[in-house]
């Protein structure tokens, strides 16, 4: 039994949902295209630093699309942005500091 939701939700109404759905389809197509791009580029066997850079850029674009539109981050509240910004800062520290520290030092395998 379907029930039209009478109570207010997160601010969206039926009209907005239609707009959102159109965005979801667009994002889906974009993600498919970018998947094809990243796989195709990998077939060229570019030198590792370039390959990594390209792959990372494509992944970040894809990830941002999922985050911004599927996860609605583009219209989220400040609190969520603040939590994610903090997480992002520590994420970068975790990515960068260990490898830089090990390679600044002396470690024989």
Partner 1 sequence: MEIPYTVAIRRDTGLTNGKIGIWLFLASEVMLFGALFASYILIRTGAPSWPRGDTMLNVPLATVNTIVLISSSVTMVMAWASLMRGRFETFRIYMGLTILCGLAFLVIKYFEYSAHFHEGALPSTNNFLAIYFTLTGLHGLHVMGGMAVNAYFWGPGAKLWKTNPTWFTNRVENAGLFWHFVDLVWIFLFPTLYLL
Partner 2 sequence: MSDPGTVAAHPSHAAHEAHHEELGFWRKYVFSTDHKVIGIQYAVTGLLFLLFGFSLMMLMRWNLAYPGAAIPWLGAILGDSRMPGGTMLPEFYNELGAMHGTIMVFLGVVPLAVGGFGNFVLPLQIGAPDMAFPRINMLSYWCLFLGGITMLASFVIPAGGAAQSGWTSYVPLSDIAGSGQTWWLVGMIFLITSSLLGALNFITTTIQLRAKGLTFMRFPFFVWAQFVTAFLLLLAFPPLEAAGVMQLMDRVAGTSFFLPSGLVVSGQALTNAGGGNPLLWQHLFWFLAHPEVYVLILPAMGIVAEIIANNTRKPLWGYRSMVYSLVFLGFMSFIVWAHHMFMTGMGTAMAAFFQTTTMIISIPSVVILTSLMISLWGASMRFNTPMLFALAFLPMFGIGGLTGLPLGLNITDIPLHDTYYVIAHFHYVVAPGTIFGLMAGIYYWYPKATGRRMNETLGKIHFTGSLICMNIIFMPMFIMGLAGVSRRLADGGASYDFAQPVLHWNVWSSWGAWTLGLFQLPFIFNFFWSIWNGEKVGENPWEATTIEWSAPSPPPHGNFIGAPEAYRGPYEYSVPGAPKDFWPQFEA
Of 47, 83, 104, 106, which one interacts with partner 1 (CB under 8 A)?
Answer: 83
Q: Torsions phi, psi of 20, nearest 5?
A: -60, -45
Is 20 near partner 1 (CB under 8 A)? yes
CB of 82 to partner 2, least distance (A): 11
Neighbours of 69 (CB within 10 A): 19
Sequence-distant (6+) residues with CB within 8 A of 19 are none
Q: Are 15 and 46 in contact (CB under 8 A)?
A: no
| Contact pattern from residue 33 through residue 72 relative to partner 2, giving x for each residue in contact according to CB under 8 A and a dash for the rest | ----------------------------------------
């Amino acid at each position: 039994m379907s029930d039209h939701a009478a109570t207010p939700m997160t601010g969206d109404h039926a009209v907005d949902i239609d707009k959102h759905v159109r965005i979801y389809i667009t994002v889906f197509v974009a993600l498919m295209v970018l998947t094809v791009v990243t796989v195709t580029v990998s077939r060229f066997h570019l030198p590792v630093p370039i390959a990594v850079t390209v792959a990372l850029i494509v992944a970040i674009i894809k990830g941002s699309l999922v985050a911004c539109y599927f996860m609605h981050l583009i219209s989220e509240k400040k609190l969520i942005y603040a939590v994610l910004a903090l997480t992002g800062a520590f994420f970068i520290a975790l990515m960068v500091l260990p490898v830089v520290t090990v390679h600044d030092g002396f470690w024989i395998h």
